[in-house]
Amino acid sequence: MKIMKKIDFDTISVVVLEEVKTYTGEEIEPFWAFKMFDIQKDSIIGFNGPMNVKIENMKDLKDIKEEQDIKTPIMSSDALNFIVEHFDNPDLKMIYLRQRILVSIAKDVIENYSGLKLKKSGDDLYFNEKKLSVCIACRGVSSGKIHLGINVKSDFVPTHVSAIGLNDIGLSNVLEIMEDIAVEYANEMSKIERDIRKTLPLF
Amino acid sequence: MKIMKKIDFDTISVVVLEEVKTYTGEEIEPFWAFKMFDIQKDSIIGFNGPMNVKIENMKDLKDIKEEQDIKTPIMSSDALNFIVEHFDNPDLKMIYLRQRILVSIAKDVIENYSGLKLKKSGDDLYFNEKKLSVCIACRGVSSGKIHLGINVKSDFVPTHVSAIGLNDIGLSNVLEIMEDIAVEYANEMSKIERDIRKTLPLF
Amino acid sequence: MKIMKKIDFDTISVVVLEEVKTYTGEEIEPFWAFKMFDIQKDSIIGFNGPMNVKIENMKDLKDIKEEQDIKTPIMSSDALNFIVEHFDNPDLKMIYLRQRILVSIAKDVIENYSGLKLKKSGDDLYFNEKKLSVCIACRGVSSGKIHLGINVKSDFVPTHVSAIGLNDIGLSNVLEIMEDIAVEYANEMSKIERDIRKTLPLF
Amino acid sequence: MKIMKKIDFDTISVVVLEEVKTYTGEEIEPFWAFKMFDIQKDSIIGFNGPMNVKIENMKDLKDIKEEQDIKTPIMSSDALNFIVEHFDNPDLKMIYLRQRILVSIAKDVIENYSGLKLKKSGDDLYFNEKKLSVCIACRGVSSGKIHLGINVKSDFVPTHVSAIGLNDIGLSNVLEIMEDIAVEYANEMSKIERDIRKTLPLF
Amino acid sequence: MKIMKKIDFDTISVVVLEEVKTYTGEEIEPFWAFKMFDIQKDSIIGFNGPMNVKIENMKDLKDIKEEQDIKTPIMSSDALNFIVEHFDNPDLKMIYLRQRILVSIAKDVIENYSGLKLKKSGDDLYFNEKKLSVCIACRGVSSGKIHLGINVKSDFVPTHVSAIGLNDIGLSNVLEIMEDIAVEYANEMSKIERDIRKTLPLF
Amino acid sequence: MKIMKKIDFDTISVVVLEEVKTYTGEEIEPFWAFKMFDIQKDSIIGFNGPMNVKIENMKDLKDIKEEQDIKTPIMSSDALNFIVEHFDNPDLKMIYLRQRILVSIAKDVIENYSGLKLKKSGDDLYFNEKKLSVCIACRGVSSGKIHLGINVKSDFVPTHVSAIGLNDIGLSNVLEIMEDIAVEYANEMSKIERDIRKTLPLF
């Protein structure tokens, strides 16, 4: 897993993998970016490949409740995957706010590439009522993490979910889209850091 | 200032004023929602009217530096104004993350009404490189606050800014747009509170 | 475990179980209220039943040290049990402050029902130097939790503890007492949320 | 203001003034305990004397709204006053939780001295529907503060309030009550610090 | 004030002024680095010049108490001044911990240049029981700030203080020392950010 | 492990063991000080003995990566060991700032005893480019912990590390050095608590 492109912002690193990699749910564990890529900043890692998450690696209790008699609940034959990690604040809500920002950025980039209008509901993206993405945010003791998976293909998604993929809406340059989303997220986080440092307090 | 519509979510109240009110910069002060409307939750207040902010009520030091020989730097003859207040976390970054979410929601709602595609850069919205909005996030001791102002008309905006308003892109039902943005923001904040309470931690 | 009464406050839900349930120590684990009752707010759950906690489910290191050659250290044939969960702040001290408030409320409600005066020492309640309750507060990554157990009967409490139960002080309407304590706790937490939003800061 | 009794707990100092002192609202300002008594810990200061707070020193916006055409809204000819200051956490909610604990302790001590049962509603104490106390919690940048005032006499309280004082319920040893409340508060805060350091986390 | 050297670390900027500037106490105010140098990171600014702080610009209440009948309490004809600002955490203690690290770094750099051994007591540096430095840490709503002033000359220091300056211990290359201290502080803060991101949590 | 000297500061306890004890890596686990010595404050424990840490007890991912084919990576036949635990703030950065302060204090004490000048780089101490110490800071849910190990002897250190011990630089009174470092650390933490309570905020 060494063929990659790395772009460094002040407080966050972007890594885009150039080889296919499956998302198994282990990538959501803390320090995965350090273990794999020696990154010692906050980070967003993008990679393209299947999603195949076992129930024991799932973090959303609602999904776990609903899916517990289904063998592989989060599954896609081809997806864009993003793994985000932030170490700056122990509050769980912080990583959830960032999750919504990441999903909004993904929505905006895909809309710009496709000329279509998507719908965001919470942390999910839809086109024509069909589900385009899965997303989770969670925290360990030291860091908050996000996984966002955007279907490239829609086959192999569990049949009870009406799904759609980027290919289905006419997008094939998915690696370019992946990099744009990751870079725009890093850019937004960096700009917030700068904005904090130029705003007078209230009295 | 008593003619209004109030929608209560569990942790946040939405108020939409039905009379015209000018944004003077005083509305960004802490506890404005309590003083005016007796709200004792987090809140988003929407109102339609001019923006006319004196330099001494401005909070963005970059604007203050740039504008200091101009008499009224933030000015619009007609705008949608949103005032957000959250009391839940003393970290300044929290209110900035929420500011970006509010701006993304405004962008999405306006795109849906207009069928046009806007551009978000940091906390600003643009159409055809023309500035549609102004925004600031800041903190006092007890709460974080946001002001988002979206031009309805583009006259009277300071001449060195290339501006555009909702009327210029064909939108006249601005009160409906205002309510949709405010409700969607409250909805997103409420959903995040619920999401936090169903996600397993990482180990 | 479906027969229950649910009362919703803005930021906290009260659930009172109407069937007998044993407290085993597993109920203190994070997300128990979501797993059992699909609650996605802060919560206080009250239930009546025995307490029977194994050493491996105990959280108070002092108890563990003292009790390690005794088979079942926290034990009661009949008790009122309260399980509280809050997700709003990662500071451990917060849940301890709330624990004291819960114990004070329990004391006040029982005094009002009985006409007797109890003694609170730390997180313990006593009548005539006899122990009426056990309590623990603790934290996981995402939430803080409290268990308060109030003896209804005093038999089966470990013999080295001089115990007393609600029945021993003449109280038999224990389900009513249980509901009053849970509702008053939710009420107090809700009022604090409102109070925060009407108090000027200091300079 | 030098005649006083000082009792030091590990993390909090108790000071009890032995001379009469009026509460004017200035004592709620941050660092008052350092300025007056050179205390460099968290602290609770108790003193006996009138309350006479001008509107510009009031912090409760609800009171300010209601009272703004009355000359001196918080007023008592003789009261027990407690000033608490904590520096340990920037979260506003923390000081509110502590405020409730202080009021509960005051209630318990007065009940023990009088043999009567008081009623606590939020941060207020009542006997026979008559108001016995006033209380406020608030925050500056560095610290959280509480003022609790318990009427000793009930004359001179604003006439629209139905008030009662400790003298009216047969208590005259008010300095003793004052010290007991202050010491018990310090004791509770100290015990919480110790409890935090013996409780296993949850997983 | 434009002649300067700027060294950018990921999360902190170092600025070393090349012209003489007096420290008046106004430099401790929040956002001074942004207002003067447009810095939108955390920062350490070093400059050489007199110290001349009026009582109304002092932040240490102990000094204010002691010095209140002396005209200019913090005064030096020639000093190295460091102004630090961090925006990352609202806890007051954080900036105090950093203050001690800055003073330790200054001590180490001066020891290396001089071959002499200094003594650090709290936030003060001494040589032969003579005071070499003054230091303060404090917080506003948005940021924590530090001022460290190291005497270059020891004349004009208030006569009740036994003072010494870098010149008195044989050091004349004070601009080089100033830069080394500032760079080493930025280096230490940067390394801590990296260390946080490679350390497993405890269970 | 009962022969010890205990010195109590207000918020932190110092314990110095008088018998030899090996550092195995288990001492870094949360609540070790309570389990072994019943300490219910923050604490620094000093003991003299070998270091022998298995890879599964190591917390520094960089070390783990580098050392994974070496049998015992952190090893010394004789060392001064310090175990620090703080419960006051859930932010990971806090314990890292304190780690640097502890290492600076160790450096200063050893320099004073030896008359030699050490070099600190991050959290490591060197003499003549030879490594004198190992150090780690980390967090659990409830507390932050530090281990600092200072070689007394330099034999048995892994051969790929160029090491040195206190004996090698002429120091044999290591128990005295150990106590001085532990007491000075507790003294510094105590003074910071007091400093926080005498400093005016910024506006």
Q: Is B168 on the interface with A (CB under 8 A)?
A: no
User: Is any Cβ of chain F less than 8 angstroms from the Cβ of C19?
Assistant: no
The predicted complex's ipTM stands at 0.94
F192/E96 touch (CB, cutoff 8 Å), yes or no = yes
pLDDT at E2: 62
Q: Average the pLDDT over each of B79-93, C83-97, F48-62, F97-111 and give the range with the smallest value.
A: F48-62
Angstrom distance (rounded) from CA D150 to CA A44: 56
CA F45 and chain centroid, separation: 9
> What average pLDDT does the segment B129-140 reach?
95
Q: Please, which pLDDT band fits residue D71 given cuts at 50, 70 and 90?
A: very low
Lowest mean pLDDT among B144-148, D185-189, E86-90, F160-164: F160-164
Flag whether pLDDT at E156 surpasses 90.
no
Residue C133 confidence (pLDDT) above 90:
yes
H-type alpha helices, chain C: 32-37, 61-67, 92-114, 174-196
Nearest residue of F to residue C66 by CA position? F35
C-alpha distance from residue F189 to each of D164, F182, F185 (Å): 46, 11, 6
Chain D contact for E141, CB < 8 A?
yes
Q: What is the pLDDT of residue C69?
A: 57
Please check whether the domain covering A3-196 is classified as CATH 3.30.930.10: yes
DSSP-derived 3-state class of residue B15: strand
Work out the percent of chain F whose per-residue pLDDT is above 90: 78
CA distance C117 to chain D (A): 8
The verdict on D12 touching F (C-beta cutoff 8 Å) is no
Averages of pLDDT over runs of 10 residues in chain A (203 residues) are 85 96 95 95 97 86 72 80 94 95 98 98 96 95 96 81 94 97 98 94 87
Angle subtended at Cα F156 by Cα F152 and Cα F160, rounded to the nearest 5 degrees = 110
A87·F92 Cβ contact <8 A = yes
Give the Cα separation of F148 and F125 in Å (integer). Answer: 10
Mapped onto helix, strand or coil, the DSSP state of residue C153 is coil
Q: How far apart are CA A190 and CA A183, in angstroms?
A: 10
Q: Are F123 and E198 in contact (CB under 8 A)?
A: no
DSSP states along A118-160: -EEETTEEEETTEE-EEEEEEE-SS-EEEEEEEES--TTS-TT
Q: What is the pLDDT of residues C154-201, one digit of tens each?
A: 987 666 778 999 999 999 999 999 999 999 999 999 999 999 999 889
pLDDT at F73 over 70: no
Residue D31's closest chain E neighbor by CA?
A: E61
> Which segments of F4-90 are extended strands (E)?
4-8, 12-17, 42-53, 74-86
Mean pLDDT of E129-158: 92
Q: Average pLDDT of C93-104?
A: 97
CB contact D21 to F (< 8 Å): no
Q: How far apart are CA A137 and CA E98, in angstroms?
A: 31
Per-residue pLDDT at A65 = 77
Contact with chain C for residue B197, Cβ under 8 A: yes
Six-digit token string for C168 = 């021993």
Higher pLDDT, C62 or A9: A9
- Chain A residues with CB under 8 Å of E11 CB are 10-11
**Model confidence band, residue F67 (pLDDT cutoffs 50, 70, 90):** low
Nearest to F34 among C61, C90, C140 (CB): C61
Percent of chain D with pLDDT over 90: 78
Q: What is the pTM of this model?
A: 0.95
Contacts of E62 in chain F (CB under 8 A): 198
Residue E38 has pLDDT above 50, yes or no: yes
D144-155 confidence digits (pLDDT tens): 999 999 999 998
Give strand pairing partners of B119: B126
- Computed over every residue of chain C, the mean pLDDT equals 92
Assign E113 a pLDDT band (cuts: 50, 70, 90): very high
User: Which pLDDT does position D4 carry in this prediction?
Assistant: 84
- Confidence label for B1 from pLDDT (cuts 50, 70 and 90): low
Return the structure tokens found at D196: 């935090």
Residue D160's pLDDT is what?
72
- Residue E66 or residue C50, greater confidence: C50
Assess whether pLDDT exceeds 70 at residue F163: yes
Task: Check CB contact of C31 with chain D, cutoff 8 Å.
Answer: no
Q: Look-up: residue for tokens 């022969």? A: F3
Cβ of D40 under 8 Å from any chain F Cβ? yes
Partners of D196 on chain F (C-beta within 8 Å) are 87, 142
HSE, side-chain direction, 13 A CA sphere, residue E183: 11
pLDDT higher than threshold 50 for residue D180 = yes
Q: E61: how many CB neighbours lie within 10 A of its CB?
A: 17
Question: What's residue C157's pLDDT?
Answer: 66
CA distance C193 to chain A (A): 17
Interface test with C, best of A63, A92, A96, A145 (most C CBs within 10 A): A92
pLDDT of residue D3: 74
- Residue D74: the pLDDT is 79
Interface check B61 vs E, CB under 8 A: yes
User: What is the structure's pLDDT at C70?
Assistant: 55
Average pLDDT of span B165-180: 97
- The confidence score (pLDDT) of residue A1 equals 53
- Listed by start position, the domains of chain A span 3-196
pLDDT of D161 above 80: no
Asked if residues A51 and A27 have their Cβ atoms less than 8 Å apart, the reply is no
Task: Provide the pLDDT for residue C135.
Answer: 96
